[in-house]
Amino acid sequence: TLVWIGGLALGLAALVAAAALVGALPAPTLDPWAATFLGCLFGLAVWAGFSTLWSVSPDRSWAYTNRILVYAAFALLGVLLSAVLPHARALAGAAASLLGLVVGWALLAKCVPALYSDYGRVARLRAPVGYWNELALLCDVAVPLALWLASARGRRASLRAAGALLLFGATVALLLTYSRIGVVLACLAAAAWVVLDRDRVESLATVALGGGAGAAVFGLALALPGITKDGRPHPVRVHDGWVLALALAGVGAVVFVVALVLARVEHRRPLSPERR
């Protein structure tokens, strides 16, 4: 399946590039950041391929080479599409929606033990992808997308509130994975967004609101053995799952409403450049 998935991504990227060459699509222009990102990713694939010459397990090294090439193919496709499509923001919105569904299902499976029974063995959050570090990386990707939704001026207040809600859910899910590198990457992504964003006041407010509320719910989860402790019986996980579900619903509603009010107040009374 890896060959078919990677081949499809490379084929679509080649199709987009060919359409740009013949004038059917605008010619893509890569800024230095995008070019550096793609160069590093393809360079990692080349290095992994060369490592088969001295690897103690060349078959696994070759498997990782193929996997990195698939990642690089999708990255190339995404960069090309964002450069040539007139509605690239819609792609980012779709990605945010998909990640919201993943985060929502992950938290729901923790609240309802029947959806993922293996939490009775190991409590670390990992459904629906099966591995906690992979789920943490998806939450990391959701962080800048959530801040993008929540901080863009001129966007509807409901969409900006949805961005704060996505950051809240991603924060809770990320912390429940117990992935240390995931937490570090999420903090770096949020800090980089705040530094680079022109509307950093909104970004800081969203980080404080969504991230702070997510950390508070995680603090509650630490007091629930059916949520954060391994090997707990089914009745304990059911009881604590309902407690977590009520906390997620209540705090999530507060985050959404507060973000909605803040967005509408700011829309009516924009801050001066000096005050910002």
Summarize pLDDT for 15-54 with one digit per residue, the tens.
Answer: 988 888 888 877 777 789 888 999 999 999 999 999 999 9
205 token code pair: 């407010």
Token look-up 């103690």 returns 56
The pLDDT-based confidence of 268 (bands split at 50, 70, 90) is low
Provide the residue type at 217 as one letter.
V
Q: Where are the beta strands (DSSP E) in 34-189?
A: none
**CA-derived radius of gyration, the chain:** 21
Residue 87 is predicted with a pLDDT of 72
Q: Is residue 176 a contact partner of residue 140, using CB atoms and an 8 Å limit?
A: no
User: Shortest CA distance to 224 belongs to which of 210, 209, 241, 208?
Assistant: 241
Residue 175 is predicted with a pLDDT of 98
Residue 276 is predicted with a pLDDT of 57
Residue 178 is predicted with a pLDDT of 97
pLDDT digits (tens, 9 = 90+) for 98-123: 999 999 999 999 999 999 989 999 99
Return d(Cα 255, Cα 71) in angstroms, integer: 34
Return d(Cα 101, Cα 87) in angstroms, integer: 22
Q: Is residue 201 a contact partner of residue 89, using CB atoms and an 8 Å limit?
A: no
**Whole-structure pTM value:** 0.83
Q: Give the number of residues written for the chain.
A: 276
Return d(Cα 10, Cα 273) in angstroms, integer: 45
CA angle 122, 125, 130 (to 5 degrees): 85
204 exposure class (CB count in 10 Å sphere: 0-12, 13-18, 19+): middle
Q: Is residue 227 a contact partner of residue 110, using CB atoms and an 8 Å limit?
A: yes
CA 162 to chain CA centroid, Å, is 14
The number of helices, as runs of H, and strands, as runs of E, in the chain is 11, 0
